[in-house]
Every structure is written in C-alpha cells, then in structure tokens.
Structure 1
Amino acid sequence: MSGTAAPETEPQASIDSQNTAQQSKSMKLSGKYRLATAFTFFSMFFGAGNLIFPPLMGAQAQSAALPATIGFIVSAVGLPILGVLAVASAGGFEHLASRVSPKFATILAFVIIMAIGPCFAIPRTATTSYEMAITPFIGENNRLALLIYSVVFFTLSFLLSQHPEQLSKSLGRIMGPLLLVLIVVMFVACVFVNHGPLGKPVGDYSQGSLITGFINGYQTMDLLAALYFGIVISANVSNFGVTETNANRRETGIAGTGAGILLILIYAALSFIGAVSGSIKPANSKTDTGATVLTNLTTTAFGSIGTAFVGLIFVLACFNVCTGLISTCATYFEEHFTTVFDHPVSYREWSMVFSVFSFIVSNAGLSAIITVSLPVLGALYPISIVLILLSLVQKSFSSKFPKVYFWTVLLVSVFSIFDCLVKLLDVFGLSLASISNALESLPLYGAQLTWLIPAVIGIIIGILDSLIRRK
C-alpha cells in the first residue's frame, strides 16, 4: 500500500506548494502593517544626529533656512531612500557592491557596518542622550554617572534587539509614534512663541546655503545605515507574512518611502524650530550645537521643564536607533561570520559583543567620537553615492558599460582615502603637507565636492574600457 500511496500524496503536496507560492506572490501588507513598518524604519533612522543638525542649520541659516533645508533633505532623506531602492532592486548591498568586485564588496560592507555600528553610531546614541538628559542636572565630567547610564542604556537596548523581526511591535507601534508626538508638541509651541524676524545667515550658511545643507546631511549617517537597515525591515515584512522575494522587496521599498516622507516633515519642522530659536537667541556658529538651539527654544516656551523635555526626546530617539543598529550589525555578522576560531557565534552573542564594545567606546566621550567619525564619513559617503547612482541607471546605462563601476569607484575611493587620511592625521596633530596642499588646490574642495571630478573621469574611462573589451 505504501507503493500506491506515494503517487497520490506527492502530486497533492506539489499542488499545495504551488497554491501556497501563488498566494505568497500575490500577498501585500495591509495599510495597518505598512504604517507599522514605515514607523519602524523611521525610528531606526531618526537618532541623535537627526535631532541635532536640522535645528542648528535653521538657527544659522535664518532667512536662508529654506534652501539650506532643501539641500539637507536631499542628502539626509533623498540619498538614503534611493539607497534603499537601489539595494532592494540589486538583491542586497553586497550584490550591488560586487559589480565593482567581490573583494571590494566584502571590505566596504565590513567598514560600513563598523562605522554605523560599534565604532561611531551606536556609542554616539548613548553619549548624546546622556549629555542632553542627564548632564544639565548633574553637571559635566561625571564619569561615574555616564558609566551607570550607559550600562542601563545598552542593557535595555540589547534586550529589545533580541527579536529583530518583531521590532515593528515596539519601535513601529510605540516608540516611533511617541517620538513624533513629542516633536509635534515642540513645533506647536514654536508656532505660538513670540519671536523677532529671521536674521541674516551666519557661519558656513552665509554663502551657498543649499550646498552647505547638503554636505551637513552626511552627518546623519543615514545613507550608510540605509544600505543595511533593509535587512531588518525585510525580516519584519516576512514576519507579517510577505515572504516571496519580489513582494518582500516591494514592501520594503514602500516602508522606506513612508519613512522618507516622515523624515521630510520632521526635518522641515526642526529647521523651522531652529530658525525661530535663532531669532530669539542668535546661534554661535563655533560653539553652539543643535542641542543648545533646542534647549534655548524649549526653555523659552516651557521654562525650566524645557530642558527635561528635550532630554526625553533625545533619549527616545537615541534608544530607537541604538536598538535598530545592534539588530542590523548582529544580523550581518551572524550571516557572514558564523564561526570565530572554530567557535560558532549566534545572533545573541554578536549582539552582546556589539553592546559591550559600544558601551566601552561611548565612555570615551562624545567629542572624541564625532571628531574621528567625520573624516571617515567624508570618505564613505562619496563611494556609496556613486554606487547607488550607477545602480539606479543599471538598465539604461551601467549594464551596457559594466566597467564604469570599477573605474568610477576606484578613482573616487583613491581620492576619498587620501582625503580621509590627511584629516585623521590632522585630528591627532600630524600632517602630510604635500598631499594636503595638493587636495586643497583641487576645484570644489572647499565645498567638499571634489570627488565629483574623479567620478566623472571614472565614468569616461569605464565607458571606453567597456567598449574596448566588447570589441
């Protein structure tokens, strides 16, 4: 009888499998779950830098706040969303970067993960929220307080990150909306507070506010994060039942677009808040930060409770991003480094490693973290931008001239690495005078857009190389 049962059950199993696959292909998230994933994406993006830089920009740009905000939104929102779409269409960041070479993809992926993870971004979340929420009440340079705060901060974030596929239940449904409510309250207060007319732009915004806003958008690190946040969002989409590859990618892209719309609205509001704050108390372009700008406004609007209010917003925003980053980094390392010295390492162990390492780095201080991170970001951003832009024109251009990936990224990388090296040496009091002078003599160096020149040269060489190889 077993011989006759098999032919009957196998076709039935095949039919059931086909039906299930067909249902999966046609599946899409409901409006409720799309909103939840969009809020999750937004919560993972929106951290300390996203709160600090737009208000400072508005306070310094003043009457030129509109073009500055447009430039900021292009680099802090437009580029990350394009990154999400490019990575989704390529089937993952490493597939995208492999168009240059597999070894390059591995190296760049590792460097980006470390930058948006334990080396810079994760430690910055704890230190920034501490300085905004705790320092105003107990004073500066209290190492013991920072130690205790960071232990609690990273312990809670570690526990929440243990279920990355369910982040939508915490970040998307609770933390993200709560953060938005707090920002809206601050914006409404700003609308009704008495203030004078907006003044003239100061600092870097006195000339070229659009470009200055664009460059300052780098400091959010959202483009680099977008290249890997899709991993976690994709897991959440799968957890909601959309497991078919193309449908999952489509829903991930929709979530990214929704998060982008939220970010645009919030950045515009924060820029306006900064402009109003700057009209009440002019910002010092050399000493003030976005945190100072926000505190000035909330103190005027709410009195002494304003400082605590801003601190709460920072803690929520930083905690959201920290949890998302730990989940992203641990997921990446679990997939790529399953064993270390012949010892299997699980997601839980990797997330613990990143939490502990970030805890150690965070206690070095916020100033040191930001100072070292800026040159590294200045190197990684141009490389990521050219990769994404070439990917977006893959069908119409890049696929016809495949060597443009290699040559464009190569020349941009060489320039970016030398520029990063010079700036890092300068941080530590050293210098390479000849290289530094050569770089500063290049066009657009003052606007930090000199990498456009090697990018254009790389595209030209890549086209010629592709044509020669084709023949």
Structure 2
Amino acid sequence: MKKYDLLATGMMTFALFLGAGNIIFPPLLGLQAGTALPFAMLGFLLTAVGLPALTLIVLGRLNSSAALTSKLPLWIGTAFWVLLLTAVGPAFGMPRAVTVAYEMGIAPFFTTDMLLPFTVVFCILTYLLAYKPGKLVDYIGKIITPVLILMLAALALSAIINPLDAIQLPSGDYQSKPLVSGLIQGYMTMDAIAAVGFGWVVIQTISSRGASTPKQIAHAATRVAIIYAVLMSVCYIAMGYMGATSTSVAANATHGGVILANYVAVTFGAYGQWLLAGIIILACLTTTVGLTNACAEYCQQTFKAPVPFTAAIVVTLTGVIANFGLEQIIAASLPAILVLCPVALSLVIASQQKSGQTTLMVMLTTLIFGIVDALNILGKMPEGWNTVFQDSLPLYNAHASWLLPCALVMVTAVAKRRLTPAAAY
C-alpha cells in the first residue's frame, strides 16, 4: 500500500469518526476541568481515542470485521451486526447527525423551518458520496478531510495564540478525580462501537488500495489507526483548550455547542458562523457517508444486496426519521446502543480466543452487565438495586461494571484450557 494512500486512508478514517459530537464535547470538558485539563484530557484520550484505535487494530489483525463474530452461532452474529449497524446508522446516529448539522450549521441563517429541504439535499449528497465505496478515499480522505482540518486548525490556532480568558479552577468531579472523570467521559462518547461499524469501511478500503495478504492488511490497519489517533487527539486537545480558555463566553452553557458558537462569534465576528457551519456540516456529512457505506458493505457481503439499493434505503430512512420521529427513535435506540457498546468491546477483547464457547460466554456475560450499566446511565435502575450495586459491584459508577466479569470469564477459560489441554475450547 502506497504511503500516500495510507495517509489518505488515515485521514478518511479520522473524518468518519469526527462527527459534530466529537467537536462540541471537548469544549465543555475543558471548561469544567479547568487547570486539571491535562489529567482530564489524558483520561479522555485513553478511552475516546484509545479504544476505537485498538478496535481498528484488532479488526486489521482479523482481516475482516465479520471475523469478530465468526465463532458465534450464525444467527447471533447476524443479529448483532444488524442491530449494531441499524442503531448507529439510520435509527440513531445518522438522523442525529442530520439534525445537528441543520441546527448548528443552517438554522441560524434562516427565520423559517428549513429542516425538510436541508434533509433532502443532505441525504442525496450522502448517497452520492457513498454510492461507490471504492471512491471514499478520493472523496473524503483527499478532498473533504484536508478542508475540514484547515477549518479546525483556524479554531485551534486562534485559541492558542489569542486565548480569551485565563484557565479557571476545575469544577464538579474534575476537582477530585480529573483522570477518572476523563476516562468515564471518553468511554461515554461510544466511539468504540462506531469503530466496530466503521471497520467494514476501513478494512475494505485498505484491501482495495493494494494490501492483499493478511500481514499487509494488519500492518496497514495499525498505521491507519495511528494516523486517526494522532489527528483525533490533536483535535480533542485543541477543542478542550479552547473551552478551558473561554470562560467569559460560556456563561450558562449546557453543552459544548454553545461554547463553540459563542467563541467563533467573538473571535471571528460575522464570519464565525460561516466557519462553524462549514465545520459542523462537513463533520456530519463524513459520518453519515461512512455509516451508509458500512451498512451497505455489510448487506452486500451478508445478504448479497447491491450497495446502491441498501444505501438508498439507509438514507431514505435517515431522512424520514430526522424529520418526523427523531426524539422517539432516540428514546428507543439509546438503550440498545448503551448495551451494544460493551458487547462490541467484549467481542474485540475476546477476539483472540480460539473457543466459540468462550466467546459466547463472554458476550452473554457482558450483555447482562451491559443492561445493568444501561439502566444506570438512563436513570432507570430501582433505588434499592442502585444502592446495592454502588456498594458491591466494581466499576458500576464508571458505567463499566461489565469489564471485570468479562475478564473473569476469559481468565477462567484460559486456566481451564491449560489444565485440560485435551478439552475442546
């Protein structure tokens, strides 16, 4: 694989992950962390960037996203992929990207509701860019991503060269445990589950660009993951620093989008809104293109469905949901995503296991404790059980109570296999 294609694929991967949430979340973290930003950002990067990068590397070693569930019964593996791609695609991730692009990029310029025409244009553009999967590197990695990086660089340089305010003392949990708080917030970005979905796109792109042997694919995937991790880390650090030095424009801000909008208005004046609109729309567009392509690639490989046909269905559902039922769909999809994220991570962790039985046990164990974490995050856990879990279940307050049971299942399986080498594991 040529170095230029490798760089372009890494930039494409960065753009696929860089949704609006990735841009507007760090400013709030920076504002709240204040002088504890280095520790908070370190924790955040470990989970928000480290987990997705690790997932891409593992998928590269497997040479296929499908191999992640190959040891499971066929119907369970198929159900997992259908649920995951539906949840992060047309049921939740893509409609949210469309509405965020509209609300932050287009709505400020109009006095009337333009969501429907914007959605039509946005979905058509998404379809055209996802129509030919082999062209994603050319469209996104070589054209859109450099433009997006230049826009982000303008924000970053302005924050570094001319910060608005001095960094304040940390607030909330960042006062006593900034590293742990950063770890939790990074985990809650759910980019790890996006990495499992985007794996279809990344591995296919690597294969189409000249990497043919398993070793070449694994090597290229590792380098692509490193490029993604560097670019995303720089973006997060810059946006976090901007938030930490924007106290005067962040009064009563409930999310990073408000901080970002106020910052560009003060720093760039009348052109600030145009800059912000360009960044948000491009970030959301690359995400919807990547998710459409991931859904289409999976359906082509699994059900032999033509890519254009699947892409058309995905963008149509996205447009309908974005306009007529986003809140209801989010309410229904969010619990599924909160459960699917640890399940996907557990499959990545268990990917080197030779036993299908062990992989299934890891998945089922994680599913049970993932439901516990989802109920906790959603505030649906009964008070009595909540108290019990807080006192007795490790990592419950970090929304990762699944991690230790998952590890225990794998350690037990390894120990049993070594004690009984003739057993079938």
Fold match (TM-score > 0.5): yes
Aligned partner of 2:23 in structure 1 is 51
Note the C-alpha offset of 1:414.
0.9
Alpha carbons of 1:322 and 1:219: their partners in 2 closer, same or farther (altered >3 Å)? farther
**Alpha-carbon distance change, 191 to 424 in structure 1, aligned in 2, over 3 angstroms:** closer
Q: Residue type matched to 2:399 in 1?
A: Q
Task: Tell me the residue number matched to 1:258.
Answer: 227
Q: Report whether the alignment pairs 1:316 with 2:282.
A: yes
Structure 2 Cα separation of the partners of residues 164 and 208 of structure 1: 44
Is 1:119 matched with 2:91? yes
Spell out, residue by residue over 1:193-227, the C-alpha distance to the aligned partner (whole angstroms, 9 max, x if none): 35332112224434422222222224443212222
Partner of 1:447: 398
Residue 31 (structure 1) aligned with residue 11 (structure 2): no
Work out which of the residue numbers 251, 257, 269 in structure 2 matches 1:303.
269
Partner of 1:408: 362
Partner of 2:107: 135
Percent identity over the alignment is: 30
Distance of 1:333 and 1:177 partners within structure 2: 30
Number of equivalent positions: 421
Moved more, 306-315 or 195-204: 195-204
Give the Å deviation of 1:182.
0.3
User: Which sections of structure 1, spanning at least 5 residues, go unmatched?
Assistant: 1-28, 339-344
Instruction: Give the superposition deviation at 1:350.
Output: 0.6
Q: In the alignment, what sits opposite 2:248?
A: 280
> In structure 2, what is the Cα distance between the partners aligned to 1:207 and 1:94?
42
Q: Structure 1 residues 283 and 451, CA, compared in 2 at 3 Å: closer, same or farther?
A: farther
RMSD: 2.7
AA matched with 1:357: L
Instruction: Give every structure 1 segment of 4 or more consecutive aligned residues whose post-TM-superposition deviation is greater than 6 Å.
Output: none
Secondary structure in 2 matching 1:119: coil
8 Å CA contact retained: 1:190, 1:297: no
Q: Does 1:348 align with 2:308?
A: yes
Match of 1:177 among 143, 146, 150: 146
Name the residue aligned to 2:340: 380
**Map of 2:197 onto structure 1:** 228
Deviates more, 1:121-130 or 1:435-444: 435-444
Distance in 1 separating the partners of 2:332 and 2:188 = 12
Match of 2:81 in 1: 109
Q: Distance in 2 between matches of 1:150 and 1:104?
A: 34
Match of 1:328 in 2: 294
In the TM superposition, residue 128 of structure 1 has moved relative to its aligned partner by 0.7
Partner SS state of residue 201, structure 1? coil
Q: Cα offset for 1:373? A: 4.9
The alignment partner of 1:33 has SS state of: helix
Residue by residue over 1:253-285, the C-alpha shift from the partner in whole angstroms, topping out at 9 and shown as x without a partner, is 3222212211111111111111112x333454x
Q: Which amino acid letter does the alignment assign opposite residue 406 of structure 1?
A: L
Shift of 1:186: 0.8
Aligned to 1:62: 34
Q: Which amino acid in the other structure matches residue 19 of structure 2?
A: G
Q: In terms of Rg, which structure is larger? A: 1
* Structure 2 spans left out of the alignment, 5+ residues: none
**1:50-99 superposed Cα distances (whole Å, 9 cap, x missing partner):** 11211221121111111111111111211111111111212323322333
**TM-score calculated relative to the size of structure 2:** 0.89
Output the amino acid matched with 1:335. Q
Q: 1:56 to 1:376 in 2, by over 3 A?
A: farther
Call closer, same or farther: CA 1:206–1:271 in 2, change over 3 Å.
Answer: same
2:259 alignment counterpart: 293
Which stretch shifts more, 456-465 or 219-228? 456-465
